[in-house]
Structure 1
């Protein structure tokens, strides 16, 4: 069924993290409904809005990392492409920043 996608460990961890976040946010929303608030984003947002925006940012960070992997190897004179675990960590930090301060 899912054989069309290359399920490497980083890809599986990334999607599993998203599933865990969605379940956690659903439980949190049921227990404590969110209210609009204004952070550094130019609009007032709820927790769910910030989660969506943060997940989009995380996806863009990962796509940029994969797209620039070969170029970074040349720019930094690396023997191999940088690990995707670095992009995972950076994208989770961006997501946490948007959720907390956005």
Structure 2
């Protein structure tokens, strides 16, 4: 892995994504679910909501980097609020 310049935040990011995928795989095996209708009126499963959360969080962070001079921690807090809303209502 010496070919890639790993930093602690990068390693943490990829570990969190890997753990989320592993957790959702175990949940899908142990507790199968049927898709549910949310506020957007589309059927989503846990995996769909995880994907929507990751995609939206990426856009939130990119927009934050491009428009704000405040620390990135505020964008991460906003992403947690967004993730909570997606898993609750979408």
TM-score bin (small chain): 0.7 to 0.9
Q: TM-score, normalised by structure 2?
A: 0.81
**1:13-92 matched pairs, under 5 angstroms:** 13-68=12-67, 72-73=68-69, 82-92=70-80
Q: Choose between structure 1 and 2: higher strand proportion.
A: 2
The alignment covers a number of residue pairs equal to: 90
Q: Does 1:7 align with 2:7?
A: yes
Return 5+ residue gaps in structure 1 as ranges: 74-81
> Computing the radius of gyration over CA atoms, which structure comes out larger, 1 or 2?
1
Looking at structure 2, the residues matched to 18 and 98 of structure 1 have their Cα atoms a distance apart, in angstroms, of 17
Aligned-pair distance for 1:51? 1.0
Q: 1:6 to 1:34 in 2, by over 3 A?
A: same
Q: 1:92 to 1:38 in 2, by over 3 A?
A: same
Return 5+ residue gaps in structure 2 as ranges: none
Whose relative contact order is higher, 1 or 2, with alpha carbons under 8 Å and at least 6 apart?
A: 1
Q: TM-score, normalised by structure 1?
A: 0.73
- The root-mean-square deviation of aligned C-alpha atoms, in Å, is 2.0
Range moving further from structure 2, 50-59 or 85-94: 85-94
Deviations 1:58-95 (A, max 9, x none): 11111111111xxx34xxxxxxxx11121112112211
Looking at structure 2, the residues matched to 26 and 15 of structure 1 have their Cα atoms a distance apart, in angstroms, of 16
